[in-house]
Amino acid sequence: MALQESYDTFYCVVDLHAVTTPWDPAELRRNTMVKAAELLACGVDPERAVLFVQSHVPAHTELAWLLTCLARMGELRRMTQYKDKSSKEGESVGAGIFVYPALMAADILLYDTDLVPVGDDQRQHVELTRDIAGRFNSLLGETFVLPEPIVPEAGARIMALDDPGQKMSKSDDRPMASLDLVDPPDEISRKLRAAVTDSGREVRAGVDKPALSNLLTIFSLFEKVPVSELEDRFAGSGYGDFKSALIEVVTERLRPIHERYTELMDDQSQFDDLLARGAERAAAEAERTISRVRGRVGLLESRVSSGAHP
35 is annotated as an active-site residue? no
* DSSP secondary structure string for all residues of the chain: -THHHHS--EEEE-TTGGGGS---HHHHHHHHHHHHHHHHHTT--TTTSEEEEGGG-THHHHHHHHHHHHS-HHHHHTSHHHHHHHHHHGGGS-HHHHHHHHHHHHHHHTTT-SEEE--GGGHHHHHHHHHHHHHHHHHH-S-----EEE--SSSSSPBPSS-TTSB--TT-S-TTS---TT--HHHHHHHHHH----SSS----STT-HHHHHHHHHHHHHHT--HHHHHHHTTT--HHHHHHHHHHHHHHHHHHHHHHHHHHHHTTHHHHHHHHHHHHHHHHHHHHHHHHHHHHHTPPPPSS------
Rounded to whole angstroms, how far apart are CA atoms 27 and 64?
25
Give the active site residue among 35, 83, 88, 167. Answer: 167
Using a 10 angstrom Cβ sphere, with 0-12 exposed, 13-18 middle and 19 or more buried, the burial of residue 294 is: middle
170 is annotated as an active-site residue? yes
Give the active site residue among 35, 83, 88, 170. Answer: 170
Give the active site residue among 85, 191, 209, 243. Answer: 85
Q: What residues are labeled active site?
A: 85, 167, 170
